Amino acid sequence: MRGIKIKNLYGRFYYEIMLAEEGMTILTGPNGFGKSTILHMIGALANSDMEFFFDLPFSEIEVIGNGDDSNFVIRKEKESLFIDGKEFDRQRINEWKNPKGWLHLDGKFENMYSDHRTDEITKIVFTLKQITGNVFFIEEQRLVKSGVERRTRADGSRVMERRLIQTVKEISEKLRMKMNKTTKGYSAISNELDSTFPQRLFAQEVGLSEREFNEKLLSMREKVSKLQKYGISNVGKFDDILFKEDDARALKVYFDDFEMKYRQYENLINCLELYTEIINDRFLFKKILVSINDGIHILDTDNEAEIPLEKLSSGEKETLVLFYQLIFEVSEDSILLIDEPEISLHIAWQRKFAEDIMAIIKGKKINVIIATHSVQIINGNRRIQRDLGEQYKNGLNKG
């Protein structure tokens, strides 16, 4: 997706928003001009929520794809939507109750539904998904969400209760589980390599030189140090390894195996390094520690006392949650939507936000769209700003 054009939003706004080539686009404008609505609109397009557009006042939306012939148009006339030139009423959209069904079609739509008009919706959703790709939406409310928790009664029976969950505590558990899951992947590849070590050793014809040995040993120590930093210490001891010409072939297989095992952790370690660096760069008198057993810990830098996550300031919680989602939950080749990232953030943190987003973009193939009121978020990034107030004033795209 390269951009979107919107006509007559709320009966008055005409916008053309082309995504910046740098990978991040900043939407600005006065309250009521539709910044958040545009983010929700893109989310609805990607998530098959056609009903969203019946409730949205507009006359036409054109989604601009990456190819010359991949544009997609939705028009609204009275009580109908004209999607890719085909007319649908609300009832027909409501009857289409399986928004994920198209994922299982493998291009064969005719056998999925009995009604040809419902088949047409499925084709439309498939086409839209191809244009937008995956979309991840970080909404304005991030610190608390509604969820279901299990509770054990006094008699030992268990019940499910709906309650508000503090997201900052939830991400700590998520991160701990993510690290443990990665360790299982490491264990699987480790067992496989260890079981075939003798055969591969006998088949190895070329060994390491002493220079190569020293380089690989240094690299290995650096990587193991990173693993131990996060409580991942099941990679074995190696301090007593010395270079011997007779062992050159075995050493090569040993180091090659370590590299293959470490690849199971590499992406996770890179994400952990970036996450802890960003958090520690912001927090004053506190530091973050992450471990495979306990998840996220915050310590007082003066006395090393642990600070409960729920005792952090709202800005600190926002930072922990927001950057966790950015770094650990957004997949590659996605569009990331962020609504008002400045909430509860100090001005100095807002100024660094765009810089940090750019650092994250370098590690992932993602396109980020931010809706904000903050001049500090823009912070010299005028070239990637799309101001809705200016477009309304200039009357862009108004026919």
pLDDT in tens, 211-240: 999 999 999 989 988 888 898 866 555 667
Residue 303: its pLDDT value, please?
A: 92
Q: How far apart are CA 316 and CA 324, in angstroms?
A: 12
Q: How far apart are CA 369 and CA 380, in angstroms?
A: 17
Residue 37: its pLDDT value, please?
A: 94
* 8-state DSSP, 33: S
Q: At which residue do the structure tokens 């075995």 appear?
A: 250
Q: How far apart are CA 245 and CA 348, in angstroms?
A: 56
* 8-state DSSP, 325: I
Q: What is the mean pLDDT of the chain?
A: 82
Structure tokens at 203: 């088949």
Tens-digit pLDDT profile for residues 36-94: 999 999 998 888 788 889 889 999 999 988 776 678 899 999 888 888 888 888 877 77
Nearest to 372, CA basis, from 38, 19, 18: 38
Residue 300: its pLDDT value, please?
A: 94
Q: How far apart are CA 88 and CA 100, in angstroms?
A: 19
Least confident of 34-38, 112-116, 209-213, 332-336: 112-116
On whether the CB atoms of residues 2 and 65 are closer than 8 A, the answer is: yes
- Strands 385-387, 24-28: pairing kind: parallel
Structure tokens at 304: 């090393």
Q: At which residue do the structure tokens 């997949």 appear?
A: 331
Q: How far apart are CA 283 and CA 316, in angstroms?
A: 7
For 42, 177, 231, 233, 294, the CA distances from 291, given in Å and listed in that order, are 36, 11, 5, 11, 5
Above 70 in pLDDT, residue 102? no
Percent of the chain's residues with pLDDT above 70: 83
Above 60 in pLDDT, residue 162? no
Confidence band for 382, pLDDT divided at 50, 70 and 90: confident
311 phi and psi angles, rounded to 5 deg: -90, -5
Q: List, in sequence order, every beta strand (DSSP E) within the chain.
A: 3-9, 13-18, 24-28, 60-64, 72-77, 80-83, 86-89, 134-138, 144-152, 158-166, 286-291, 295-300, 306-307, 334-339, 366-371, 385-387
- Over residues 93-114, the mean pLDDT reads 48
Above 90 in pLDDT, residue 301? yes
Residue 47: its pLDDT value, please?
A: 81
Residue 185 CB neighbour total at 10 angstroms: 14
Residue 383: is it exposed, middle or buried by C-beta count within 10 angstroms (0-12/13-18/19+)?
exposed
Confidence band for 318, pLDDT divided at 50, 70 and 90: confident
On whether the CB atoms of residues 333 and 365 are closer than 8 A, the answer is: yes
Residue 141: its pLDDT value, please?
A: 60
Residue 59 CB neighbour total at 10 angstroms: 15
- Over residues 17-41, the mean pLDDT reads 92
Above 60 in pLDDT, residue 35? yes
Above 80 in pLDDT, residue 248? yes
Q: How far apart are CA 189 and CA 116, in angstroms?
A: 48
| Phi and psi based region of residue 264 (left: phi greater than 0; alpha: psi -120 to 50; beta: remaining) | alpha
On whether the CB atoms of residues 322 and 137 are closer than 8 A, the answer is: no
On whether the CB atoms of residues 61 and 42 are closer than 8 A, the answer is: no
Cα 150 to chain center, whole Å?
A: 28
151 phi and psi angles, rounded to 5 deg: -130, 135
Q: How far apart are CA 33 and CA 377, in angstroms?
A: 19
- Over residues 148-175, the mean pLDDT reads 68
